[in-house]
Amino acid sequence: MSQAANDFPPLVPELENRTLWTFLGFFGPGAIIACVTIGSGETVFASRGGAIYGYTMVWCFAAGALCKGVQLYSGSRFITLTGRGPLQSWMELPGPHGWFVWFIAIMTCIWMPFWLSGLPLMLGDFSNWVVGIPLPDVQASDAEKIQYAAYGRWWGTMYIVVAILITWLQSYNFLERVQTIIVGLLLFCMVLAAIVSRPDWLAMLVGGFVPQLPAYEPWVTQEYPEFAGRSPWVEIMVYIGAVGGGTQDYLGYIGMLREKAWGMLGWPGKSQAGPPEPISEQPENIARGKRWLLAPLADVTISFAAILVFTLCFVALGAAILHKHEIIPDKFSLLVEQSMFLRQLAGSSPVLQWCVDWTYRTGIFFAFFGTILGAYELFTRTIYECAIALFPQWERVPLKRYRFWTLVYVGLGGLVLLWGLGAIGFDPVKIVTPAALVGSVLTCGLWCFAMLWSDRVHLPRPLQMGWVLRLAVFVSGILLTTGAIIGIYKYLDKLIGGG
State residue 349's pLDDT score: 66
Q: Judging by beta carbons within 10 Å of its beta carbon (0-12, 13-18, 19+), is residue 489 exposed, middle or buried? A: middle
**Residue 151 — very low, low, confident or very high, per pLDDT cuts 50/70/90?**
confident
Element holding 490 (H helix, E strand)? helix 467-496
State residue 344's pLDDT score: 59
H helical segments located in 197-282: 201-209, 218-223, 232-242, 247-260
479 within some domain: no
Whether 212 and 73 have beta carbons less than 8 Å apart is answered as no
Q: 81 is in which domain, residue-wise?
A: 3-467
499 within some domain: no
85 within some domain: yes
Residue 68 has φ and ψ, to the nearest 5°, of -75, -30
Q: What is the pLDDT averaged over residues 96-103?
A: 95
Is this prediction's pTM over 0.95? no
Give Cα separations from 144 to 147, 148, 149, 180 (angstroms).
5, 6, 9, 40
Q: pLDDT tens across 300-353, in order? A: 998 888 888 888 888 888 888 788 888 887 665 666 666 665 665 556 667 666
447 within some domain: yes
CA-CA-CA-CA torsion for 197, 203, 207, 213, nearest 10 degrees?
-100
206 within some domain: yes
Q: pLDDT tens across 9-21, in order? A: 888 887 776 666 6
Q: pLDDT tens across 344-376, in order? A: 555 666 766 677 667 667 767 776 777 777 788
Summary mean pLDDT of the chain:
82
482 within some domain: no
Query: Buried b / exposed e across 389-421, counting CB within 10 Å, b at 16+?
Result: beeeeeeeeebeebbeebbeebbebbbebbbeb
492 within some domain: no
Taking Cα atoms as reference points, which of 364, 319, 303, 374 lies closest to residue 339?
364
299: domain CATH number is: 1.20.1740
Residues in the chain, overall count: 499
Number of domains making up the chain: 1
Higher per-residue pLDDT: 96 or 136: 96
- State yes or no: pLDDT of 485 exceeds 90: yes
475 within some domain: no
**Residue 2 — very low, low, confident or very high, per pLDDT cuts 50/70/90?**
very low
d(CA 112, CA 249): 9
Q: Look at residue 401 and give its three-state secondary structure.
A: helix
**Residue 190 — very low, low, confident or very high, per pLDDT cuts 50/70/90?**
low
